[in-house]
A and B are shown apart, each in its own frame.
Chain A
């Protein structure tokens, strides 16, 4: 019923590993709290709120100012904790012993729909005073949640799936229905919660919503034992996975992150609405190189994602295309239960019907994906290796007899990605991590040889096991040459195999090259720094590919 209860829920979820227990805890929470607060709880837990009322930096400055605390000391603490909201919570302990009456039972609804939004109407001085006041009147064990809501850093490791499961259990309705109801915009209100737990399934109200996405698994060797004819092969595009929903004439674009992105791609919405039929298509949104008929790099797509209502010149500069690879619903008929090979026939049938009956300019922006027909598995491998040439990431392999279920179900869709490119590089800098990795040196920079000098070429965070991270952290502390704030320069001694997806010329970097998605794939303890690769090797790699 309150912030207090929600803080307890957070604490419970944070200290349980078992999924079943988490579901049980959530179910009990929903049972014992009122609809409006439940609605807010769902909103917060699913991370549907990324709204940040103030930044972490602002929070730290404010604390420093109010309690006359040296900024450097807060920053040092931050390095250990890795989360601004938590640092301030820990520092606030025993600080707010004012005689003010404690606000022990503020409801989540009041806090989130009144108290906090009201902050943004105040000028800076008033706002600071009000935050201080709230720190003083809120009980100490509610500070963490309050600070996290303020800074919009609410992540608890509760997935939408978990919420879905607990509500499904609560009202005894299939998870698919709940997950459907939870998709897209979720405005916290009594109505939205009651809609969620409504025991009557009403298809009308689900009208604009997409279906839960079917996700691909990483390929496993056992697939090669099957006949190649059991599968459909497509290129794996590196764009935004999207369902294009058109019902009752209205078009909705949904990303896999369940965001409605109509505003970012108005030209697609407009043109697709010219098609007479209603449908739900599953596919990929890309920025398209029309001259060569291949996708542009993902970085160009990024220029479109976060821009709402892009003007004509942006639309022309970064032309988009939607490539459909599946048809899930046609004129109100849900066809997810029919086999993929038959859905493909439907998709092709409707596509050619639309091509004949609709204005041609739609097909600048919408097409269906081409299929690939490898003769056997070695042939599939050859296709996969060629995928760099057309700017795809590899192949998607789909079982022809499969239905469109939801989630990452095994044995239905597989992704078969191109082997990453690799170089052996020398560790030269390390920086403290944040979040779970706070207090450890986990952000690394790597260098390649240029004559007798080591030149930085990539930074990577992921790829080591926890044990390796700890071991390396120890080594880093003992082998620091110099400290610059949180960064340490290190004795060049350790060699790592760095894998990445793409390598290209970059004027912004001293090395002259930029790599995409660099990650550590092996700690080459067997190698000395003289065995590491040179920039020349990197250039060779680049030339080999282009």
Chain B
């Protein structure tokens, strides 16, 4: 067995790093070269000399970091070479532009799953099965208590939640990039025909999605001075950061909900402070992670982002897959 230093990709200073190419994956501090799997804030940082990503991720990234960054973009599946290592992006189904990243060097394949899901999502490309020798996978929801319902079922639940309280203004909190657009897309296919408003941060992302050809219902931007009567019976999408503090005082007679995979657990739902929880996630559930491990045909798996102990032990005991520890 090789030592940690001999792996093509390893953990260095808490980040994934490929020494041979001197390139980092989703680094949390400024580096020379950074591969970016997707444009969520916890997957990139400001100030890198050069970024590499898919085209969609690059557009979202520029919206968040600024226009003047140096960024090389690639199509899904397009291979490029750095120091003799072949690198390519593949759809991961997490949000628009999100990708897995594959490395091939001396006939050895490595795959970094990025954040991924297998569930249907009309706002981004479907997860692509990529074969590999080594898999580095996220396991945010790496316990068998996590099993997602179909997203149209959740959307119908949301629609019912709103229409059952026509006197109220329904505030649905969700991440402004990805989750919000997926929800809008799904909700527009339900029986709910009332008004939908988005907070500015979500509205901005909606517009980018639409420019990139994704079918997102046209929503109105929520203005602070809206008349309360007009909002009765309508849905407002807001980022979770606004759930605490004075922002909610802008509304009267509200009901609140949070859309997140964690909401499948009652204790977390109660603790979250939202009245209602909708368990919908852009990450894979337990079965999803296992399916990806299996179909990737990886013989060696590393897990990160989440409680990796349980799923590691399970795979070792039940699937005779070699689960390795990075040692962060």
* Structural contact, A91 and B144, CB atoms closer than 8 A: yes
Is B310 part of the contact surface with A, judged by Cβ < 8 Å? yes
Do the beta carbons of A90 and B147 come within 8 Å of each other?
yes
How many angstroms from the CA of A77 to the CA of B267 in the assembled complex? 13
Interface 1/0s, chain A 428-457, versus B by CB < 8 A?
A: 000000011111000000000000000000
Give the contact stretch, choosing among A9-17, A116-124, A179-187, A365-373: A9-17
Q: How far is the CA of A24 from the CA of B161 in the complex (A)?
A: 16
* Docked-complex contact A83 and B267, CB < 8 angstroms: yes
B144 partner, pick from A77, A83, A435, A466, beta carbons under 8 A: A77
A80 vs chain B, min Cβ distance (A): 6
In the bound complex, do residue A73 and residue B314 qualify as a contact, i.e. CB atoms below 8 Å apart? yes
Q: Is B217 an interface residue (CB 8 A)?
A: no
A522 near B: Cβ within 8 Å?
no
B271–A80 CB distance below 8 A? no
Inter-chain contact A94/B145, CB cutoff 8 Å: no
Partner of A91, one of B145, B267, B270, B310: B145
Across the interface, name the chain A residue whose C-beta is closest to B274.
Answer: A15
Report chain A residues within 8 Å CB of B193: none
Q: Smallest CB–CB gap between B319 and chain A, Å?
A: 13
Q: Is the CB of A436 within 8 A of B271?
A: yes
Count residues of chain B with CB under 8 A from any CB of chain A. 23
A86 contacts partner chain B, Cβ-Cβ < 8 Å: yes
The answer to whether A15 and B145 touch (CB under 8 A), given A435-B267, A436-B271, is no
Judge whether B265 is part of the interface by a CB distance below 8 angstroms. yes
CB distance from B72 to the nearest CB of A (A): 37
Q: Which residue of A lies closest to B256 (CB)?
A: A17
Min CB distance A203 to B, Å, is: 41
A67 smallest CB distance to B (angstroms): 10
Pick the contact of A81 from B257, B265, B277, B314 — CB < 8 Å?
A: B265
Residue B151 at the chain A interface, CB threshold 8 Å: no
* Assembled-state Cα–Cα distance A93/B285 (Å): 12
Smallest CB–CB gap between A117 and chain B, Å? 27
Q: Is the beta-carbon distance between B145 and A90 smaller than 8 angstroms?
A: yes
Known: A16-B275, A17-B275, A83-B266. A70 touches B314 (CB 8 A): yes
The yes or no answer to B204 lying at the interface (CB within 8 A) is no
**Complex contact A15–B267 (CB within 8 A):** no
Q: Give chain B interface residues in 140-197, CB to chain A under 8 Å.
A: 143-147
Measured CB to CB, the nearest residue on chain B to A16 is B275
Interface residue? A82 (CB, 8 A): yes
3 pairs of A and B residues whose beta carbons are closest in the complex: A90-B145, A15-B276, A438-B267
**Interface residue ranges, A against B (CB under 8 Å):** 14-17, 69-70, 72-73, 76-77, 80-83, 86-87, 90-91, 93-94, 435-439, 466
Q: Known contacts A15-B257, A80-B143; can you find 9 more A-B pairs with CB under 8 A? A: A15-B269, A17-B275, A70-B314, A73-B144, A73-B314, A83-B267, A86-B265, A90-B144, A91-B145
